[in-house]
A and B are shown apart, each in its own frame.
Chain A
Amino acid sequence: MKAGGRTRRRRPPRAWLGALPLLVFAGLCFGLPAGALLYGAVTRTDPASGTTELTGEHLQRSLQGPYLTSLTGSVELSALTAAIATVFGVLIAQAVVTSRRGALRGAVLTASGVLANFGGIPLAFAFVATLGISGVVTQIGHLDALGWNLYSFTGLTVIYLYFLIPLMVIVVVPALDGLRPQWREAARNNGATAWQYWRHVGLPVLAPSLLGGFVLLFGSAFAAHATAAALVGGSVPLVTLKIADALSGNVLVGQENVALALSLDMIVIAGLVMAVYLPLQRRSSRWLH
């Protein structure tokens, strides 16, 4: 915060009224659905008598059988893609940061900003045209003979990286910029090898940013639904696909409450992710300014 600081003015009365519409809107359009979700996830209404009682049944069911498989599938896919994207994102960012061409930096960062904004349906179809059954690269490389299948866990991994890597580049470039050349020179003058510099100076300073970036990517991959829905439909067990199935009544009737419980599981996981991310973000700004 630069603007403001110590002001010597009286605060105008009723200034907070400007925020009222936003708070009312959030309460109605976000609070109400969230409350309904929570309520439906932990209660059961008997259709015969119309009485409602608290129950842990839905949450319990959402942590069993195929539902549990879909949760672990989502967590595995998100962790794997986030880890790979973290490594490649850092490599690309480091290549850009240490490059002497300002134009390259500008181009890569702009492209990353654009690509990171892309998930969803168009991305899925671009990959169908590339690596799908009759995709161009599949045909040229005869990948089907090698057992390649886009509509699988591996295929989704390849696609998710397309928007996760640019996201990591965006997140980590400012952190890499913050590594001062003086530290490197000091390390070198004291006889440290490049490996020792990274081991004892670079990585410890970067660690909060890297971990924060990983957590952010994990959250993005975990919440993604459209790409997977357009591609695999249901062949890969993912929690977002399971919720969509339960909602659209593709499975047994009366699954809505399990969908709500699954959504609650997702929110808990996403909340944990945020709880890890925010303190890390504060820590990472300690050295890097």
Chain B
Amino acid sequence: MKAPRRTRPRYWRGAVLAVAGLYFITPLLSSFVFTVHVPNQGLTFEAYSGILSADGFTESLFLSLSLAAATIALALLLVVPALVAVRLGPPRLRAVVEIVCMMPLVVPPIALVTGIATVLRWGPDHFSRTPLYQTFLAVQNESFPVVLVLAYTVLALPFVHRSLDAGLRAVDVPTLVEAARNCGASRLQVIVSVILPNLRSSLAGASFLTLALVLGEYTVASLLGFRPFAVWIVSVSGAEARMSVAVSLLSLLITWALLLILSRAGTGPSAPASAGAIPAGAAGAAAIPAAASATPAVGASALPAATTPAAAPIPVPGKE
């Protein structure tokens, strides 16, 4: 491929990228300046040094991390067997599983919360004299709200499904399963020692995206009245404006670092954790020449072109 000779220099490209760069970098720089520079006082790093000892910080962060761990475990436990079953079972199952996993994209998180809140209200209303009532109380335990894990797993399904589905695309599941079964492996052994190793990077991708989603999630938690990390940031913002910005900046940078590591590792994030992107995978994968399709070792991201700079060689017009 050879790009046509340009007949005139293209200043617009530099201009567009400069403006975009300015817009995307300014808030980050400003946030940093805002946290370390106090008008009429000069430089101070108090906003950062005070975070660890701040009231509620460690509890909320610990809560968020443990929720994230539980959500990742539950989502993977549900989706991996389902996707393997899709490749072994009746053809119609594929459509069913896909629709089930994509449904949460149509229901905005806030609508999901209203539904969940309604269901939770049934507890005291209808079940107060039945053993079920204990269950209603247990899932809303302040120290570890199981109801949040369930809600977050629902929100994470589309991303987890897409990441793992893309990874499994590069694996010939029926043949591998058949071979392993013929060698005398049990079903569980097949999944654990044959399928999972082939999905390493997709599993990492799905886990990271879920982690980012749970750490940043505010809507569901705040409306159900719990206080994980994001809710805590908002609750201190009134009294400690500087610190809330400092914590926000740190959590942005840490999440970005995680996602960067992830995209370097070959599976890329390709969906906003906040909103839920529908995969551009069909168009994206289609745009990649067959030769460049990712191998299991690299991990097939839903958007190889967009997110695997280190992976498959994408022909860039004019590069060759």
Contacts and interface: CB of A to CB of B under 8 A. Distances in A.
B153 A7 contact: no
Interface string B30-59: 110111000100000000000000000000
Given A100-B318, A226-B219, A95 B113 contact: no
B240 to A, nearest CB: 11
A100 B10 CA distance: 12
Among B24, B121, B280, B310, residue most surrounded by chain A Cβ atoms (within 10 Å): B280
Contacts of A4: 87, 172-174
A63 interface: no
Contacts of A167: 272, 275, 277
A118 B89 CA distance: 37
B94 to A, nearest CB: 9
Contacts of A21: 77-78, 81-82
A171 B109 CA distance: 22
Contacts of A136: 30, 33-34
A195 interface: no
Main secondary structure of the interface of B (DSSP, over half): helix
A102 interface: yes
A97 B318 CA distance: 10
A181 interface: yes
B90 A126 contact: no
Contact of A117 (B4, B108, B212): B212
Among B30, B223, B278, B283, residue most surrounded by chain A Cβ atoms (within 10 Å): B283
Interface string B90-118: 10010011001101111111111111111
Contact of A15 (B89, B97, B154, B171): B89
A32 B119 CA distance: 8
Interface string A97-123: 111101011111111111111111111
B79 interface: yes
A200 interface: no
Contact of B274 (A119, A129, A165): A119
Among B30, B79, B105, B223, residue most surrounded by chain A Cβ atoms (within 10 Å): B30
A141 to B, nearest CB: 11
A101 B121 CA distance: 57
B77 to A, nearest CB: 7
B243 to A, nearest CB: 10
Main secondary structure of the interface of A (DSSP, over half): helix
Contacts of A139: 39
Interface string B139-178: 0000000000011011001000000000011111110011
B306 A274 contact: no
Given A18-B82, A221-B275, 6 more contacts: A16-B90, A22-B101, A30-B107, A118-B252, A128-B245, A174-B306
Interface of B: 1-4, 10, 12-13, 16-17, 20, 23-24, 26-28, 30-31, 33-35, 39, 77-79, 81-82, 84-90, 93, 96-97, 100-101, 103-119, 121-122, 150-151, 153-154, 157, 168-174, 177-178, 209, 212, 216-219, 222-223, 230, 233-234, 237, 241, 244-245, 247-249, 251-252, 255-256, 259-260, 263-264, 268-278, 280, 282-284, 286-288, 293, 303, 305-307, 309-310, 314, 316-319
Interface of A: 1-4, 7, 9, 11-12, 15-19, 21-23, 25-26, 29-30, 32-37, 40, 88, 91-92, 95-100, 102, 104-130, 135-137, 139, 161-163, 165, 167, 169-171, 173-175, 177-178, 181, 184-185, 188, 209, 212-213, 216, 219-227, 229-230, 240, 243-244, 247-248, 256, 259-260, 263-264, 266-267, 270-271, 274, 277-278, 281-282, 284-285, 288-289
